[in-house]
A and B are shown apart, each in its own frame.
Chain A
Amino acid sequence: MTESTGFKQLLINQGYDPVDGFGEGRKIAVLAALAALLLATACIAAVMGAYDISITDTYRTILVHLTLGDVTSLPKLHNTIIWDIRVPRIILAVSVGGALAIAGAVFQGVFRNPLVEPYILGVSSGAAFGAALGIVFPAIFFSIQLSAFIFGALAVTLAYILARVRGETPIITLILAGVIIGSIFSALVSLLKYTANDTALREIVFWLMGGFYYATWNDVLLLAPAVLVSFVVLWGLGWKLNVLSMGDDEARTLGVNPERYKFVVIALATAITAFAVSLVGIIAWVGLMMPHASRMLLGPDNRFVIPASLMMGGCYLIVCDTLARTLTTAEIPVGILTSILGAPYLCYLLRHKGRVIFG
């Protein structure tokens, strides 16, 4: 009992106060349910795979690792498949899905437009160009990932600089600048595709479709902490983001410096998007859809939308990736699946919830 009141007090101290007309008790319950769903999805995904391993064997392998038990006692094959292939892949899927969904949620808030996705400022085109460079000129750009990340971040920086007028970055110029920069980099990618030899072309096309084929613990250790830190910071800015989505002038008179917070939020969201894209390629729709789904469940308050997006984005990518690796004997690029599953969902939103979601 003391534990539950302690927990309640903790929630209240963090600004979530369940006892009033704001319906926050329900929202906290929904968040808890989403967390449970995420965990359950991850557990189920760990059991699924081309190589049949029983449920008990799967969880014993994971448990031994989690409790720092004697790893050598496990069958070597099980250990490799479960701990070195499936688990990092699942965690990477959660990190990427979470990163894209959070970035989408905060971009939509900052740009005051529910149809914005995290790639709006050209990060995907930039990263694609970086990756293509790495593939075509492996001698100069030794790491595809690094090159993708650098060019992804560069594209957004260029868009931001291009949009800056007299110390301010109006939303509309920012979006236009993103479109311009994006199309330049897309053209450059086409140029590289055109000049590349067959092997390189194949690799570029494959990279563009996105996938978790090569997920390793190294990727996880790079991405997961970055996503976690960005998530905590952006979550903490949740209320300010609400105010920011009312417009720059109003945010200013409500004590939220629009330029400062826009910069922080865009920088963080861009960093994790570029990071995620550089590791797994371009995965569409997650960043657009998951924030919508969160808003349908919880309303537009970003203090709830951001954590819900993280968990739903994670869930969605686990499901898509598990399907990608189990549906056929060969792997389907996960970007294809997220689009095929995502587009009908957005159609549904548009047809049935249009008034509520799109105002």
Chain B
Amino acid sequence: MLYVQNIHFKYGTVPVLSGISFSVGKGELCGLFGPNGSGKTTLFKCCLRFLNANQGTVQICGDDVSQRSIEELARLVAYVPQEHKPPFPYLVREVVLMGRTPHLGGFFGVKRRDKEIAMDALAALEIADLADRPYNQLSGGQRQMVLMARAIAQDTPILFLDEPTSALDFQNQMRIWQIMRDVAEDGKTILACSHDPNHVAWFCSRVVVMGSGRVVAEGEPMDVISEDVLEAIYRDTCAVRTFEGVQMVMPRCVAERRESRVPAAGGLPARTGGGVDVGSQSTVLAENFNDI
């Protein structure tokens, strides 16, 4: 579905991407995970051709993106930017309808069918009640949902999401990830970049970890989100624990604090005490996860 092969990119003389290769299969929800400045956004821009890679190829559905026009590319890839405020008060339904632009023809080309598709996309995300609100007066979470609806209306086989949950509260983050899973289950391919190792571990079917312009690890989240990998990109800040089969990444200092404090309080062995204590918290998360 998406093949990225040996991408190199430099801003001036500063190398940002040095030989990125990975692939994402159909129907996968792939997380692109890495610290600030690791080149995630630049990689996105190279894939979407906002930037031209110095070297390497990106193939989407078997097509080399550098050989495709902007119009053709827009029928293959939808892009969900980080939420932002446009200067004009377009209604939500109009913003979603803009997703139909690559499929339009004629003088204006907006057909009744396109409007129906736009409204269906809003209904699918259960935000049809927002349809008549001005987009730039919504909250950040609502705007992110609207941008998701627009990408769905664009009806492309693959979707790119640029930190879709970074500005949202916990509930909205879970909602967006849930929607992404639903969309992927419908057979679409999603590449979403994220800062949160737990999110990619919980929701993605595949993870590509980036660090300083290279792919550090790639594969199933269970294998990839490990202390070794996190150590490689975050040094010694993270600890990974597993509670009832769910992986949790937490700050190492928090994990150690728990594990060392408990015996003093209750006299139980450190490992068990820590496990039980954190375990009760993680059941909440685990329930959440089961719902999903």
User: CB within 8 Å of B: which residues of A?
Assistant: 12-17, 19-22, 109, 112-114, 236, 238-240, 242-243, 245-247, 249-250, 252-257, 295, 299-301, 303, 355-359
Contacts and interface: CB of A to CB of B under 8 A. Distances in A.
A153 B70 CA distance: 29
B86 A243 contact: no
A257 B99 CA distance: 15
B281 to A, nearest CB: 39
Contacts of B107: 14-15, 236
Contacts of B88: 109, 112, 114, 245, 295, 300, 359
B90 A17 contact: no
B101 A246 contact: no
A87 B100 CA distance: 44
B79 interface: yes
Contact of B98 (A236, A254, A359): A254
Nearest to A301: B94
Contact of A359 (B77, B81, B87, B102): B87
B258 interface: no
Query: What 3 A-B pairs have minimum CB-CB distances, sorted nearest first?
Result: A255-B74, A15-B108, A255-B102
Given A15-B107, A249-B81, A257 B70 contact: yes
A236 B108 contact: yes
Which of B75, B98, B136: most chain A Cβ within 10 A?
B98
Contacts of B101: 239-240, 243, 254-256
Contact of B108 (A16, A109, A356, A358): A16
Contacts of A19: 112
Contacts of B78: 253
A169 B112 CA distance: 35
B109 to A, nearest CB: 6
Contacts of B136: 359
B115 A246 contact: no
A57 to B, nearest CB: 42
A252 B91 contact: no
B257 interface: no
A253 B75 contact: no
Contact of B75 (A17, A245, A255): A255
Contacts of B119: 21
Given A15-B110, A17-B112, A22-B115, A247 B99 contact: no
B74 A239 contact: no
A254 B99 contact: yes
Contacts, number: 117
Contact of A245 (B71, B86, B106, B110): B86
B151 to A, nearest CB: 9
A21 B81 contact: no
Given A15-B107, A239-B108, A245 B115 contact: no
B89 interface: yes
A295 B274 CA distance: 61
B127 interface: no
A114 B136 CA distance: 14
A15 B115 CA distance: 11
A242 B90 contact: yes
Given A238-B108, A252-B70, A254-B102, A359 B94 contact: no
Interface string B118-158: 01000000000001101011000000000000000010000
Contacts of B84: 247
A260 to B, nearest CB: 9
Contacts of A295: 88
B81 A250 contact: yes
B184 interface: no
B10 interface: no
Contacts of A303: 108, 110
Contact of A255 (B73, B132, B134): B73
Contact of A15 (B81, B95, B111, B132): B111
Nearest to A248: B50
B238 interface: no
B96 to A, nearest CB: 11
Nearest to B86: A246
Interface in B44-76: 48-50, 69-71, 73-75
Contact of A21 (B79, B93, B108): B93
A13 B75 CA distance: 23
